[in-house]
A = this chain, B = another copy of it.
Amino acid sequence: MSDAEKYSLNSQEVAQATYKLLEQRGVTIADIAELVHFLQAKYVPGLTIEDCNVHVEAVLSKREVQNAILTGIQLDILAEQKQLLQPLQAMIENDEGLYGCDEILALSIVNVYGSIGFTNFGYIDKVKPGILVRLNTKNGRDTHTFLDDIVGAIAASAASRLAHRNQAEREGVTTPPLD
């Protein structure tokens, strides 16, 4: 930005960068929707991947979520490019077990849809279904230390949103809580 230009936030740009970065790192909406389906299928008879898609997209539309995604993926990319200072470089590159800033950013995503998502986040992060296996396979090239937690968190949040909406439907409420 030149000195002459004044900064002003462009929310469209933030949203677009989020979608683009996820795609570049090999994560699609469908991948995340599949995780939501894994988490919720047994509670919601007839749940389709398309249903899950809607909730993933709603989660991704939140600024707080976008900020965490942009920041986490940025750190993954810089670690891949060996551009971080030591020992942070080594900790992120090796997904060090005692390094928890990835979980911290992920939790900030889960929080947006409330505490009922904590359990799903922890569960999925441990069991690693679907895309999470791939993100966790070390190939000596890609670093997804932040991304795998972030993807799990988006799925857990979407599952929370689905649970809330489902309840609203069951009660015949047509107007969901204001956002």
On chain B, the residues within 8 Å of A173 by CB distance are 11-12
Given A99-B67, A101-B68: A125 touches B119 (CB 8 Å cut-off): yes
Indicate whether A9 sits within 8 Å of B119 (C-beta atoms), given known contacts A62-B177, A112-B114. no
A1 touches B90 (CB 8 A): yes
Which chain A residues (20-63) contact chain B, with CB distance < 8 Å? 21, 57-58, 61-63
Question: Is the beta-carbon distance between A105 and B103 smaller than 8 angstroms?
Answer: no
Q: Give the CA-CA distance A168 to B17 in the complex, in Å.
A: 17
Q: Is the C-beta of A91 less than 8 angstroms from some C-beta in chain B?
A: yes
CB pair A61 B177 closer than 8 Å = yes
A164 touches B116 (CB 8 A): no
Which B residues are in CB contact (< 8 Å) with A104? 68, 104-105, 108, 115
**Which chain B residues border A90 with CB–CB below 8 Å?**
1, 7, 9
Assess the A1–B118 pair: CB atoms within 8 A: no
Residues of B contacting A176 with CB < 8 Å?
179
CA distance A124 to B57 in the complex (A): 29
Q: Are B91 and A9 in contact (CB under 8 A)?
A: yes
In contact, A93 and B177 (Cβ under 8 angstroms): no
Interface string of A149-168 (1 = CB under 8 A from B): 00000000000000110011
Some 17 contacts from A to B, beta carbons below 8 A apart, are A1-B90, A7-B93, A9-B90, A11-B168, A12-B171, A58-B177, A58-B179, A62-B177, A64-B100, A67-B101, A68-B101, A70-B85, A98-B164, A101-B105, A107-B118, A111-B111, A118-B122
A residues bordering B, Cβ < 8 Å?
1, 3, 7-14, 17, 21, 57-58, 61-64, 67-68, 70-71, 74-75, 77-78, 83-88, 90-91, 93-94, 96-101, 103-108, 111-112, 114-116, 118-127, 140, 163-164, 167-168, 170-171, 173, 176-179
